[in-house]
Amino acid sequence: MASAQPSLMNTVSISQVVGLLEYLQERNISADSLFANLPLSKQILEDRQNRITVAEWLGTFNRAQELTNDPHLGLNLGKAVKPGSFGLLGYLAMNCPDLRAVLERIPKYTRLVGETGRVEMVDHGEVVEMRWVADLEPYPSQLAVWNLTAWISFGRWITSQHITADELWLVGDPDDMADELAEFTGATVHYNKPFAALLLSDETITCPVLQADKELHRMLDDQAQRHLRDVNGSLEFTRFVENALLESLKKGEVGLPLLASRLGMSPRSLQRRLRDLGSSYQEVLDETRRNLAMEYIRDARLSLLEISQQLGFAEQSSFNRAFRRWTGDTPSNYRWRR
């Protein structure tokens, strides 16, 4: 089973940010430091139901790498993973009968945690392949390592056994992390693979989960299914709106009535539906513009004026003010520093 195809407008649970921040705080790096120069407020941490876009998550992770100056941040995060980092999925996994049941639920419910990559479980009989596939550019190699090593760490935690993998696959060329990865996972590390993956023996995944509660497992499984339906429904409508907004921006059409007309809705109905999702037209417009701006600013072929026009700003000065609000910097300085 596979989750949705990742894009910069897919989302990630705030539990991922909480797990990252806890790791940083243990190293005396504050939330204020993490959120400095990010287009996010630390107040977003107050509601664990919040989600951020993949673009925001990648920016947050990159900021953490800058603060730690740790080229192996993904591996070290994976070693230090805590159950809360997986949110509801983590608590469900803690009540599965064995590791196989845990692995079967990761692809099904991974969207609850985040959509940076899709997870696939391929059962070859004596060996099970757990894939983490991301179609992002540049490829988030440290996030791939974080996911694979986190699965190992979590498996050890819920079974009280030293779980190891037979093989670990990574995308890209070999690096200086191979020996440490092999030591931690017990796996033979292979590079230049089409996707990241763990290969686990059938003997390994039959390990029982200690203190699993059958009744609690049933309740949490039902809760996860309901939550997934809620996430899917809200995400599908939000993307429906975002896609229509993208088309509107390309044609220079900005405004609630124009967007509502494109969606076949009245402005009042669109406002009400967005309000039910805790959003608004202005928030969706601002979010869409910001995500596109972060993408366009990396394209040296586009002038700042062209970016401003493609985002539907009437004047470049308006774009400049919005960009400073998003990043704390001017578009020209931000581009130069990148």
Query: Domains (ranges, CATH) in the chain?
Result: 11-212 (3.90.1520.10), 216-337 (1.10.10.60)
Q: Are 81 and 154 in contact (CB under 8 A)?
A: yes
* Backbone CA torsion sign across 302, 11, 16, 83: negative
Name the pTM for this structure: 0.71
Q: Which of 12, 30, 13, 10 is nearest to 21 (CA)?
A: 30
Contacts of 191 (CB under 8 A, 6+ apart): 170, 171, 172, 173, 174, 175, 178
Pick from 205, 199, 196, 206: which is nearest to 185 by CA? 199
CB 99 within 8 A of CB 204: yes
Dist. CA 25–CA 14, nearest whole Å? 16
- What six digits make up the tokens of 30? 């504050």
Which positions of the chain have pLDDT values less than 50?
1-9
> Which pLDDT score is estimated for 338?
64
Amino acid at 45: L
Looking at residue 277, what is its pLDDT?
67
Cβ–Cβ contacts within 10 Å for residue 175, how many?
A: 14
- In angstroms, the CA 52 to CA 328 distance is 19
Q: Give the β-pairing of 51-53 and 127-133.
A: unpaired
239-262 burial, b for 16+ CB within 10 Å, e for fewer? eebbebbeebbeeebbebebbbbb
Asked if residue 5 lies in contact with residue 135, where contact means CB atoms within 8 angstroms, the answer is yes
Q: Is 131 helix (H, G, I), strand (E, B) or coil?
A: strand
- pLDDT at res. 54: 85
Greatest CA separation for the chain: 63
Interval 197-244: pLDDT, tens: 999 999 999 999 999 999 999 999 999 988 887 777 776 777 778 888
How far is the C-alpha of 182 from the C-alpha of 162, rounded, in Å? 14
Round the CA-based radius of gyration of the chain to a whole number and report it: 21
User: Can you give the pLDDT at residue 7?
Assistant: 45
Predicted local distance difference test score (pLDDT) of residue 169: 98
CB burial readout 120-158, b (16+ within 10 A) else e: bbeeeeebbbbbbbbebeeebbbbbbbbbbbbbbbbebb
pLDDT score of 291? 81
149 with 185: CB under 8 angstroms? yes
pLDDT in tens, 277-322: 667 888 889 888 888 888 888 888 999 999 998 898 888 999 999 9
